[in-house]
Amino acid sequence: MPQNQLTTRLADPARGAFVVGVGASLLCATAGLLLGGLQGLTSSVLASILVLVFFISGQLVEGVALRMADGTGLTLTLVSYAARVGLFGLILWLAASTPAISGQWSRTWFAAGALTALIGWLTGLVVADSRARVPVYDRSYQAPEGWDR
């Protein structure tokens, strides 16, 4: 199978995860606006963006790592994950410890936005993966030569 078809098939689950993650995040942002005002809206949107960027960047790195035949791909994936978790933690720590920022967002709606984006992403990924076609399994079975003898 040509590389562009394989890449397209691998990108479909990520695309489905992104669409469902954004949809779920929009629902949470709407609820945040209605129930928490502008602070609820901005907090949930910020959290959703951070979570979706975390996952999208992970998909991009894993796409590169899958093309590597040796342990370099695994190392790249693990280092990328550690860096993304560290950056995510640093952003949260700065937002919580800076007095000018900490009073401007709602921790409740931030958590709701992050959880909604996470659950939306994972739901979209599972649904898209369950419907993905894996070409290696689509071939019809043929008995090995000499099997009938």
In a domain, 147, yes or no: no
In a domain, 145, yes or no: no
Q: Which domain holds residue 80?
A: 3-133
Q: What is the pLDDT of residues 109-144, one digit of tens each?
A: 999 999 999 999 999 988 888 877 666 666 676 777
Q: Are 28 and 42 in contact (CB under 8 A)?
A: no
Considering its fold, how many domains does the chain have in total?
A: 1
Q: What is the C-alpha separation between 45 and 62, in angstroms, rounded?
A: 26
In a domain, 46, yes or no: yes
Dihedral sign for Cα atoms in the order 7, 10, 16, 17 = negative
Query: Of the ranges 22-36, 82-96, 111-125, which one carries the lowest mean pLDDT score?
Result: 82-96
Q: Which two tokens stand for residue 108?
A: 């409740």
Q: Which residue has better confidence, 40 or 132?
A: 40
